[in-house]
Amino acid sequence: MRTSEFAYLLPSDAIAQRPAEPRDAARLLDTRDLSDRTFSELPDLLQRGDLVVVNNTRVRAARLLGRKEETGGVVEALILGRLDDGRWEALVRPARRLHAGTRLRFGNLRGSVLEDPVRGKALLDLESDDVEESIANYGEVPLPPYITSGPVDPEDYQTVFADKLGSAAAPTAGLHFSSSLLDHLAERGIDVATVDLQVGLDTFRPIETERVEDHEMHRERFSIPAETAAAVSAVRGRKGKVVAIGTTVVRALEAASNEHGVLSGEASTDLFIRPGYQFRIVDALVTNFHIPRSSLIVLVAALVGDHWRSVYATALERGYRFLSFGDAMYAER
């Protein structure tokens, strides 16, 4: 497959700069018949006994502004996550002026560069009695670079069920949920379960290879609670639908799947879902409208086939808002 097959023209004025107010007032395009709805109507598209699965990750205040201790030069680091050996992975600027051994200070958080940065990415040793607390106290929640209209309340970039700290970006389909919408799901007899997948920035980057198959998929950590694995087994037993809220949930559930259901526990995945993939778990997907040539559009195409083109064309024609703060679609495979 050629990557150009997953391109489309995205006008800048179609990129949402603010979330809908209230959250569940966002528009929702039902891809089955291309009908227009609002997100608050999502429970009405589902049946009693279906299972909605959300990603309860919380975005870390990962953007740090500081200085090099030796020279006082300004440094910016975007923390991507903590590795198992205690080192921290980060995007740093200016990468060309940072080398192994460079000492850094971000407020009361100190550290050093362990290896010369590669493509802007570096490994850091961060020093604090509580590194996570220091990051939370000093850092800022990073917003996507296409949000250019001014400051945004950081809580607007967290879901109402955000609980497990660790992501560099929000699971954006979940941003549309409100407490009243969760109540509506419960009233309809639709269960809600959680996974925790730590969203990395590579999720949103365009595919740069000419062929889709040559794209090297990033790896992300996830965990599946035992309660969620049991809920998936139960809904499969009663022939209900597993409805994934966002592509991150799709990756977590499918990566943890086998012929019997979903395995609970912690793992990491570089699963690249593209056309031809045989879904084991996910029956339906709620997701935003994604950046051209991204692995996220390829995943949507794997679920709905070439119909994704008419879905996107319809959304653009009808003035839907795109990307992280934008509107959403409901799709079934």
pLDDT score, position 312:
98
Q: Quick one: fold of 63-138?
A: Thrombin, subunit H (2.40.10)
Superfamily of domain 3-59+151-332: QueA-like (3.40.1780.10)
Tokens of 171: 């699971």
Round to whole Å and give the CA distance between 200 and 194: 18
pLDDT score, position 224:
98
Tokens of 194: 């959680």
Concatenating the DSSP letter of every residue in 206-257 gives: BP-SSBGGG-----EEEEE-HHHHHHHHHHHHTT--EEEESHHHHHHHHHTE
Identify the three-state secondary structure at position 200: coil
Enumerate the domain spans of the chain: 3-59+151-332, 63-138
Which mean pLDDT values do the consecutive 10-residue runs of the chain (333 residues) have? 97 96 97 98 97 97 94 94 89 93 93 93 93 92 88 91 93 97 97 95 86 93 97 95 98 94 96 96 98 96 97 98 98 95
Round to whole Å and give the CA distance between 28 and 234: 28
